[in-house]
Structure 1
Amino acid sequence: MESFYHRLGKVETSGQALLVSGLIATTCSLASSAGAFWAYRTVDTPFLSLAILMITLVPFFFILASSFLLLRGFQILERNNKKLSEEVERDNLTRLANRYGFVRHGRNMLVQAGLQKAPLSLILLDADHFKNINDSHGHLAGDLALQHLAKILRQACRESDLVARWGGEEFAILLRAADLSGAHGFAERLRERIAESPFSWNGKQVELTMSAGVTEWQHNDDDLHNMIIRADEALYVAKSKGRNQVQVSHQQIDQVEGFELDVEFCDAAA
């Protein structure tokens, strides 16, 4: 019997198979009841008890097999749905979380930080003069540069942190249990590491730098949308002051001259 169950567990099922197995189980159940009632009313033999037992057991085994098919099918569907959900939330080029995944998991991180009364900080990063790489070396080199940056970010962050490609050459990092000072120091070390790690293209070393804006979650009446606005503001200041530097958000948006809110950037987190 164990080998029978093992073979059933290896059966690949589809939606049609699930429907058929369900119909078989229902039919067998009805047939078992009808057969037992018919035998009891019409069969006059000393083997009546055996006949009723057989009529009951045969459909039971069909129902058992159908149940295993159903369970196997649900397991496969659950696994496929999980894979699909992961792909929807992942950037194809860098394999980091994409904007959708960042917002969904980021909101959960805010909830957890609130329950734990723990600090949480956001870093927005933008590759400096990235258009020059595409123009000078081609878009394949640009893709390689993004993958190179993503690898550095992934290696520098902890498993509990959330790293995402927000779009284009922009990246976002949510740091668990990190206050503003800690996040600022981490962003500075990350900036230095990127500046010291050129990537190779056609036998040449291509240098990269990044600008970053940092902000901390304020807990009361603060959310991911507002954090992104503040970090985006700080990032603007970093780029306007010469790039390849980290700035911390201390001001409101309208106090930074020349700053224009990236509406699409922030709407995703609203």
Structure 2
Amino acid sequence: MLAALDLTTLTVTLTLVTLSMTLLLALAAWHAGTEQGLRHWALGNCALMLGLLLNVNQQHLHHSLSVVLANGLMTLGLGVIWLGVRAFKGRSQPQWGPICAAAVIMLLLWFFRFQVDRLDIRYAVSSVTLGGLCLMCARELLIRAAQPLRTAYWFSGSIALLYGFCLVARPLAVLFGWQSDLPVLDSPLQNLTLLGAMLAQIGMASGFILMTHYRTAEALHRLSERDALTNTLNRRSLQEQAHVLLNLMAQRGQPVTLIMVDADHFKRINDEFGHQTGDAVLCHLVARIGQHLRSDDLLGRFGGEEFTLILPGLDTERAAQVAERIRQGLCSNPWESESKPVWLSVSLGVACSEHHGYDFNTLLSAADAALYRAKALGRNRVELAPAPGADLEDQMALRLLSQFRHNLDV
């Protein structure tokens, strides 16, 4: 059945498929912005397309073009596609590798065509090289990754793996006589190779676009729940995750502590050093806080220079120790600017579920009251939330004093 396939039809189909895939990848690369990999894939697919078109027209072109140059272009194309996979994953790209591989292949094919005419060796050289590059792409893609990106990785990688094995096995088919007595371009092996090339091109191009789609969707999801400056949870996401965590800890009967952190005199930093430095100081604050957190702790930006920590499994005493370590760490480690260090202190309010229950808003209000107390008593200190039923007039007086100090920034 494969022998009965018309080579002209296969060639036209291959031309249309390769051209369509190249245009599709080029358009995707055009709109990809800073996304790494797509431009490599578009350029690689273009070189692969030209090489395939030259190769299937051996009856009409000189072998220096249809054999030597064609296989060089296909090698270069697959090599650039491999570079694109590495670029997409954020890995280094040895730019000269594909160029050197293409040059070596062209030299070998020229020798075994014009100096020593050996079809079997040319088949072996081109098949093993192209198949090896496909397997290298598969090796980069068939890895552990988080969903949904893993689906796209494995889809593209499986196609590269299957076609790579087929290309590597092609010399064995010639060795065992499956090439038959037909001319090279009319053999079942050549027709099968062309069909496989078309399917592999469609599949891998679709897989690359799927990878880009999932990467973009993942980035959008991350932006929807993360603060753009500090990469901490934003307020909405913090509340959602906090409710889930508090319900879980309530079922287990374990304590949860919420800590409010506020940078002292942050307006002065912005006024003296500029908002760009202020942003860098906030990132420094988050980095210092992160050194004291565990993997299951939550940290979110509540607004401005205020941050909220949720520490599951810690009671008031242990959480207060964490808060004190955070305060001391920030006081003793300024942000180093080019001109002079920027010193920063923080005030912290601590509220635990032992006294205030597992409701997020109740804990937040209690920790906020403790934060106002820390501000009113001079800043740069840790204060525990007052027990329920404490003197409301004292709490209101401290809140007013804290607000007055904040307005004067003293």
Give the TM-score category using the shorter length.
0.5 to 0.7
1:23-58 Cα shifts (integer Å, max 9, x gaps): xxxxxxxxxxxxxxxxxxxxxxxxxxxxxxxxxxxx
Instruction: Report the CA distance between 1:10 and its aligned residue.
Output: 3.2
| 1:20-39 correspondence to structure 2 within 5 Å | none
Aligned to 2:190: none
Confirm or deny that 1:257 pairs with 2:396.
yes
Match of residue 217 from structure 1: 353
1:174 aligns to what? 310
Distance of 1:221 and 1:173 partners within structure 2: 16
Q: Is there any run of 5+ residues in structure 1 with no aligned partner, and where?
A: 12-68, 261-270
Gaps of 5+ in 2: 1-133, 139-151, 158-204, 401-410
SS of residue in 2 equivalent to 1:91? coil
Give 1:238-253 correspondences, 5 Å limit. 238-252=374-388
Q: Higher relative contact order by CA 8 Å / sep ≥ 6: 1 or 2?
A: 1
Does residue 90 of structure 1 match 2:236? no
- Tell me the amino acid that sits aligned with residue 313 of structure 2: A
| 2:136 is the alignment partner of 1:136 | no
Shift, 1:91, TM fit: 0.7
Alpha-carbon offset, residue 216 of structure 1? 0.4
In 1, the alpha carbon distance for the partners of 2:235 and 2:250 equals 22
2:189 corresponds to 1:189 = no
| Greater strand proportion | 1
Q: How far 1:181 sits from its partner (Å)?
A: 0.7
Deviations 1:167-225 (A, max 9, x none): 11111100111001111111011101110010112320111000000000148864000
Give the AA of the match of 2:263. Answer: A
- Cα offset for 1:257? 2.6
Name the CA shift for 1:187/1:219 in 2 (closer, same or farther; >3 Å): closer
State the distance in 2 between where 1:87 and 1:99 align: 12
Q: Deviations over 1:110-153 (max 9, x none)?
A: 01111221111000000000000011111111011001001111
User: Which residue pairs with 1:9 in the alignment?
Assistant: 155
* Shift in CA distance, 250/81, structure 1 to aligned 2, threshold 3 Å: same
Per-residue deviation, 1:71: 10
Is the alpha carbon distance of 1:215 and 1:10 closer, same or farther for their aligned partners in structure 2, counting shifts above 3 Å? same
- Aligned in 2, Cα 1:207/1:121: closer, same or farther, shift over 3 Å? same
- Measured in 1, the distance between the counterparts of 2:206 and 2:274 equals 52
Name which of 222, 242, 253 aligns with 1:117. 253
Helix, strand or coil: the match of 2:227?
A: coil
Change (3 A) 1:72 1:198: closer
* Higher Cα radius of gyration: 2
CA separation in 2, counterparts of 1:112 and 1:74? 36
1:89–1:97 Cα contact (<8 Å) kept: yes
Contact between 2:261 and 2:347, CA under 8 Å: does it hold in 1? yes
**C-alpha contact 2:357 2:363 (8 A) present in aligned 1:** no
Aligned length: 207
Residues 139, 70 of structure 1: CA spacing in aligned structure 2 closer, same or farther, 3 A cutoff?
A: closer
Q: When the two structures are superposed, what TM-score results if normalisation uses the length of structure 1?
A: 0.66
Q: Which of 364, 370, 387 is the equivalent residue of 1:234?
A: 370
Q: Secondary structure at the match of 2:302?
A: strand
Amino acid at match of 2:335: F
**What percent of counterpart residues are identical?**
33
**Root-mean-square deviation (Å):** 3.3
Indicate the SS of the match to 2:291: helix
User: Residue 319 of structure 2 aligns to a residue in which SS?
Assistant: helix
